[in-house]
Amino acid sequence: MHIGKRTGLYAALVLLSVPALAQKKFTMAEATNGMTTTLATQGIKQGSWRPNSNTFTQVSGENMTATDFPGETTTTLLRLQDINSALKTDLKAMPSIKWLDKNTLYFTNTQTLERATLNGSSVSWSKWATTPAKAENVTPDKSGKIAYTVDNNLWLINNGKAIAVTHDANKNIVNGKSVHREEFGIDRGIFFSPKGTYLAYYRMDQTMVNDYPIIKWDTVPAHADIIKYPMAGGTSHHVTLCVYHPATHRTVTLQTGELKDHYLTCVTWDPAEQYIYIGILNRDQNHLSLNKYDAHSGRMIKTLFEESDPKYVHPEHPLTFVKDNDKQFIWWSDRDGYRHLYLYNTDGTLVRQVTKGNWVVNEFLGFAGTENILITASKESPMEKHGYMVNLVSGAMTRIDKGAGTHSITPNESGSYVFDVYSNEDVPKKSLIRGTDGHYSKLLLESPDPLENYDRPEIRNVTLRANDGTPLYGKLILPVNFNPSRKYPTIVYLYNGPNVQLLHNAFPASGNLWYEYMAQHGYVVFTMDGRGSSNRGMAFEQATFRHLGDVEMEDQLKGVEYLKSLPYVDDDRMGLHGWSYGGFMTTSLMLKHPGVFKCAVAGGPVMDWKMYEIMYTERYMDRPQDNPDGYANANLFDKVKNLKGKLMLIHGTQDNVVVWQHSIKFLKTCVDEGIQLDYFVYPGYEHNVRGKDRVHLMQKITDYFDTYLK
């Protein structure tokens, strides 16, 4: 076990609790939403690179400025008053500007897309197009075309004219939207070809999927929205990929195979607009084929290669073609146990593995010349993220940022400069321009500490060991005015599910001001990422395969064991809180290890994985019919009678992710078993409670702990 303590002047001030420097306590509103509102760190507004240039643009006041690097000459690119004058609008602030190419940009004003053309120092504005009020998934392309969806159909604006691409009367056949419940990295359903000549789109037939009612309670009588919700082991939807040719109004469906309940991922056009590449993942999610299709006939050309894993393959990224070389592309894979990049020829031949090591590539950022790529990765530590230049031939890596912490890197098109924004436990935020050759650095803005006048706790970084020796990283937040001779009530916050990492070396050091609020009110708070969470490689993530909740509880109980070893932790007054997967974990710990925690709050919890969506659940648990013991062990309904202590469940009444029925059925089981349970709902909310009502939520949770732990 290793414990790291924050050091330096700031930590010393915290430990000494100097009254003159640390007076204020967080309000619940500040603890809940402050880091995105009144206590937000200062940063560059709308920082971006002008395409095909070394010019960095940002919004300052009512203007957008442009600075050339390395000369650092700054000019005013856009003025809000000029936009309002040209477009006869009354915008109060600079809108969100997006670049189409070096000399074309646009923004969306309600349903109207306004476009500007830059010609030297002059700017000419025009109304590009107006979409219908019900338009969604609006996707502009630099060719001048705009695609969007209305209800379940896809439309295209071409040469100023709106054309219906699809005409499906059945609302359960959906075109142009993201599919597969947005798993596998899917976040859209519209794919323009590189030059905008053609339009590919997902077509999802979900007529065969069970209906599920989501009740809206804000009307009298209440109204049922019927959605399609494919539950584990049940019938899944069928997805195809279509290609529309605007010049001929012809649509081609790619011949992706007879097995209709497979998953279509990683959709990528080739640079010449001749072919489309698709990853075909079987429903068991243990076999992937990367296939090449003729975009004009729909015919499958060949399978480039296949990947398989005894547990699951988890594709999330499209292909990236090498700059100035349409015969090679970069592919993401976990095949060696960590997510890395591989260079392939378009005939399916592996050229080489580009990145290697016991660490994870987080992002592909772009190219620096033709032989180097830019990435972010957890190479230094799973708690940090840094930017690197990687040579495609040798694999040699050069770090392009400086400063410990979590970096967000945005390169210009050539990869010669990056916009680097980072923070760590002691640095609220720094925004810089850096040369990727390491010879240039310009600090644009260093944020003052927005929390400097608050009475903040000491935060200790903790490393524990799982049963198999795996290091587990946690944070211990001590009460303000900490007295080691006292006994304190303690709260454990957890998630511990796939694809999520709670802990980072970032600002604020606690990771969450609510933890600090609780520390200000006399609590010890502990949080830890156990096995099953992300950014640690496949063995770490797949340790939970087919038995969700077991290994994760083992790890969280290691945290409890550590807490009990601390003389100032009152192990008779321990509380637990988590949401979503964390809600499942919270309820599981209360029922499978009763008596460890005196009280707990579980939000939006999964109670029975058979009632959760196919794509996520079957990846980690297989189908219920293939893993009956795993599902039975994770099922919480038949364990209700084990409950000791106080448990409150919270759920959004319109939750379409973890449907409300999970907690309603659990509540009914408690009644049947004579078990007392506390319960609260948030009308009108889906899976998360946000905005001002989140303050109400966190006050509700805090009051519960105050009632039963103090």
| Catalytic site positions | 580, 655, 687
* C-alpha to C-alpha distances, 636 to 299, 588, 652, nearest whole angstrom: 48, 7, 19
| Amino acid found at 287 | H
| Amino acid found at 260 | K
Three-state DSSP class for residue 476 = strand
Helices assigned H by DSSP within 375-421: none
Helix (H) or strand (E) holding 555: helix 550-564
- N residues, the chain: 710
Handedness of CA 45, 50, 53, 57 (dihedral sign): negative
Spatial distance between the Cα atoms of 664 and 668, rounded to a whole number of angstroms: 6
Tell me the two tokens of residue 617.
């659940």
CB contact set of 611 (below 8 Å; sequence gap of 6+): 231, 232, 659, 661, 662
Contact 98, 86 (CB under 8 A): no
Taking Cα atoms as reference points, which of 530, 493, 486 lies closest to residue 513? 493
Helix (H) or strand (E) holding 429: strand 427-435
Provide the terminal-to-terminal Cα distance of the chain, rounded to the nearest Å.
29
Taking Cα atoms as reference points, which of 183, 411, 413 lies closest to residue 313? 183
Contact 642, 592 (CB under 8 A): yes
Helix (H) or strand (E) holding 705: helix 692-709
Pairing of strands 372-377, 361-368: antiparallel
Contact 295, 216 (CB under 8 A): no
